[in-house]
Amino acid sequence: MLQVALAQVRQHARRFIAVGLAVMMAVGFLTATLMVNASTEASLGNSIGAGFRNADLVVTEGPEAPLDSPAVDAVKSTDGVGAVYAQEMGWIAFGTSTESGYGALQNTAPAGLDNLELLSGKLPGDGEVALDAGTAEKRGLAAGDTIELAPAGGLVAAEDLAAAGTGLTVSGIVKASKDPFMMGQPQFFTGGELVQHLAGEGGPQLRSIQLDLAAGGDATAVKSALAGALADAGFADATVNTAEEQTKAVVASFTGGTDQLTVVLLAFALVALLVSALVVANTFSVLIAQRTRELALLRCIGADRKQIRNSVLAEALLVGVGASIVGVLGAVGLMAGIVAVLQAQPDTEFAALAVPPVAVAVGLVVGILLTVLAALAPARAATRVAPLAALRPADEARAGNAKGKVRLAVGVALTVGGAVVLALGAVSANLLIALPGGMLSFIGLLLCATLFVPPLVTAVGALAKPAGVPGKLAAVNAVRNPGRTSATATALLIGVTLVAMMMTGAQTSRTAFDGQLGAEYPVDLSVGDLTLEGQPLDVSAAATAMNYDGIAAAGLITNGGHAEVHGARTGVYQLAPEQLDLLQDKTLVLDGNTVLMPQGSELKTLTVTGSKGSKELTVVEADSRTLPPLISSAVAAEIGVPKLPAAESEDYYTSLPQLWVSVDRDLDAWALLDLRSQLAAGLDVNEYQISGAAVERAAFNQVIDVLLLVVTGLLAVAVLIALVGVANTLSLSVLERTQESSLLRALGLTKSQLRGMLALEAVLIAGVAALIGAVLGAVYGWLGAQSALGAFAAVVPDVPWLQLLAVLAVAVVAGLLASVMPARRAARLSPVEGLATV
């Protein structure tokens, strides 16, 4: 029977391509995921090991006793120890004649332990400094130039450095260290004691003591001798490791986060695997159905049920093995490509590819098991083919056997039960209840897909009526085999539902967050405190702000008096009538008798005092909790606008003018963050001095956008696999209907009508699957957001119509594309050829 299976796969290789593709993609995804962690570790090892790659042993401190010079002495005086390098590092400010900045300074190691790569000049001696190539290029420095270094701390202007710093000669340029503590900042290396002097108050950080073994020294013996010596010197918790052990230890301390990444990625790989299992199962059922006669013939000539089943499983095994191998190779290729790209980038050139045997093995085993297990049910169906079926004409597939009914019952029960739990979770705003409820109901829906997918396809198919006979036939053909249609649609439905859920969830949380922001921040952007020059903001700031694109309005809010609020002297600001528009909450009004107070002031009235007098005002509370007390400019004039207190005064900071800005609503996150940078530069303030709802919203939106993009990308794999399934089902159906297509062609169906008919059929199945997925996803997304955020914010469902429409459009176009190949093949067949197979 193996012979039969081999012949099947060889002769009908084309029919197995789709199964192979589906398995391949899922296995590739899984293997790549498993390789991410290993490759990250390898890359980190590359980076971390760079710091001590020439040392034999590395001593690092324990939590109790930080390493210092007695420890270095203890190491030096231990027998068997050769050269010793006490790795010291400090943070420094540096200045050239025109610029200044911050960076890291490290002492150089003695020869032998040295791990700097000199690019030009020489290694630094006493009073000299080497720096990394990137910084040298950026600051226009070369060997022989002079540079000022000073301990980091406070703002260091170039002119201050010239006075306080130490003038050093640049001895050479080195390749930037990949040590994670040094990376990503200007790196300086100096010989001798300079680090000690420049590291500032606490002295330099002694990161490690690296050492070479003396000639003939034995690592194990020296290791224990060192441990003893260090313990005697009071560093009992210090660790002595070989360089390799040290790398592993540090990598382990770094990778807690990447493990989580692996888990998240695995969840998506699981979805992809599930979808491809569906495609495999569906394809095999179709193949079995088409081979009924052939299988019956085998039974007639004496094959028993077990042989039939094993023959089908052997086919699955062959396909599974082939596809899994290609999938694993594809994953390795993909990761190698990514690593190669990273290696070409200066910041990530330490990236390394790791292909752990586990990833390869798991990928292969899962791929093969998935294919064989998915083929199990179709294989069992194959054993039910009666020998007599070879002799009588094939029946049209009949629906509804006992097993199908059980499945439907379980599906309905799960759907209803899960929905109740999900609703409960949503109402009680508890994600831990909602999540299992949602999952159960989704599984239930997938199980009873045959209940609602075919009727929906028929209903939507009515829309194809205007397309005439091809349209009518497409609608009928799409549900000709309800089980097959449901399975095909289900595979696509999974991916689309998850994508739509993420989109709706994101949109809904965005809206919820927006509402929350309104309560938190009174204005889009507010710029506070002093400029970098130490000056208060003045009216020119508003004019400056208005120069930038994206700013709708800007106004300077100035001191209008002060008041005692719960015993504390508080600055009160005045707001001109036209400035009321700057507030987020457009419903707020100020008149001659009111003062606007933040939410939760617990006051009915407030007496505000100006330079000429006081006035008792009625308190109106805003939604915002961070609004400063506000009075109208008319009231301020009435009680006398005070002068700005002296800089030493306690009131100074609560009386400083603020610039309030409202921005264009349609500004996206990136544009807004860019605007903030421009504004900070233009107003001569630090970026953190500009805060407000818009910035928070932008930052949040940015996070959501990136997450959504990543998640959609990951789910796209599952969607792609499902689309392969659509193409596959269609091409198998086309194969089945060769005679029918030929008859239609003979009776006057044109080639393009035939192609159109098949395209419509694919679009119908894909479109309805996407439609159901989008609706389900929107509901799940809303309930999910309600469950996750309901406790903190008012969640109102916000459906991202455009995005969901885009998903639908993509599905429809993809369905069209999926029909291209099968339709081309069907149309190529001349009517005579098709009819000749009778």
- Which positions touch other proteins (CB under 8 A)? 396, 468-469, 473, 476-477, 480, 739-740, 743-753, 830-832, 835, 838
SS3 of 217, please?
coil
Least separation in angstroms between residue 664's CB and other proteins is: 53
- As a whole number of angstroms, the distance between CA 776 and CA 505 comes to 12
Residue 90, both tokens: 């400090």
User: Given the complex with other proteins, which of 623 and 736 has the nearer CB atom?
Assistant: 736
Check the CA dihedral 50-52-58-59 and report its sign: negative
User: Given the complex with other proteins, which of 14 and 465 has the nearer CB atom?
Assistant: 465
Ordered alpha helix ranges (H), 152-255: 158-164, 194-198, 219-232, 243-254
Least separation in angstroms between residue 798's CB and other proteins is: 43
Angle between the 431-447 and 482-520 helix axes, to the nearest 10 degrees? 160
Least separation in angstroms between residue 401's CB and other proteins is: 20
Least separation in angstroms between residue 466's CB and other proteins is: 11
User: Given the complex with other proteins, which of 306 and 465 has the nearer CB atom?
Assistant: 465
Tokens 């002495």 label which residue?
A: 73
Which residues have a Cβ under 8 Å from the Cβ of 192 and sit 6 or more positions away? Answer: 107, 125, 126, 127
User: Given the complex with other proteins, which of 369 and 397 has the nearer CB atom?
Assistant: 397
User: Given the complex with other proteins, which of 207 and 755 has the nearer CB atom?
Assistant: 755
Residue 447, both tokens: 């199980």
Least separation in angstroms between residue 833's CB and other proteins is: 9
Which residues have a Cβ under 8 Å from the Cβ of 422 and sit 6 or more positions away? Answer: 434, 437, 438, 441, 783
Angle between the 2-11 and 305-344 helix axes, to the nearest 10 degrees? 50
Q: 706: number of CA atoms within 13 Å, CB side? A: 7
Least separation in angstroms between residue 464's CB and other proteins is: 14
Least separation in angstroms between residue 471's CB and other proteins is: 11
Give the chain's end-to-end CA distance (angstroms, integer): 28
Least separation in angstroms between residue 407's CB and other proteins is: 26
Q: E-assigned strands of 62-220?
A: 81-95, 100-107, 118-121, 128-132, 146-151, 166-174, 187-190, 205-213
Q: Do 492 and 770 meet the contact criterion of CB atoms below 8 Å apart?
A: yes
Q: 606: number of CA atoms within 13 Å, CB side? A: 30
Check the CA dihedral 762-764-770-773 and report its sign: negative
Check the CA dihedral 537-538-540-541 and report its sign: positive
User: Given the complex with other proteins, which of 618 and 750 has the nearer CB atom?
Assistant: 750
Q: How far is CA 469 from the centre of its chain?
A: 47
Which residues have a Cβ under 8 Å from the Cβ of 652 and sit 6 or more positions away? Answer: 644, 645, 646
- As a whole number of angstroms, the distance between CA 590 and CA 595 comes to 7
Least separation in angstroms between residue 745's CB and other proteins is: 7
β-pairing, 166-174 with 128-132? parallel
User: Given the complex with other proteins, which of 391 and 703 has the nearer CB atom?
Assistant: 391
Least separation in angstroms between residue 726's CB and other proteins is: 20
User: Given the complex with other proteins, which of 741 and 787 has the nearer CB atom?
Assistant: 741
User: Given the complex with other proteins, which of 388 and 469 has the nearer CB atom?
Assistant: 469
Least separation in angstroms between residue 395's CB and other proteins is: 8
- As a whole number of angstroms, the distance between CA 92 and CA 605 comes to 54
Ordered alpha helix ranges (H), 13-139: 13-49, 69-76, 133-139
User: Given the complex with other proteins, which of 263 and 469 has the nearer CB atom?
Assistant: 469
Residues in the chain: 838
User: Given the complex with other proteins, which of 525 and 744 has the nearer CB atom?
Assistant: 744
User: Given the complex with other proteins, which of 2 and 746 has the nearer CB atom?
Assistant: 746
Least separation in angstroms between residue 743's CB and other proteins is: 6
SS3 of 42, please?
helix
Nearest CA-CA partner of 485 in 817, 732, 810: 732
User: Given the complex with other proteins, which of 753 and 819 has the nearer CB atom?
Assistant: 753
User: Given the complex with other proteins, which of 370 and 474 has the nearer CB atom?
Assistant: 474
Least separation in angstroms between residue 757's CB and other proteins is: 11
- DSSP letters, 566-613, are TTEEEEEEEE-GGGGGGBS-TT----TTEEEE-TT---SEEEEE-SS-
Least separation in angstroms between residue 754's CB and other proteins is: 10
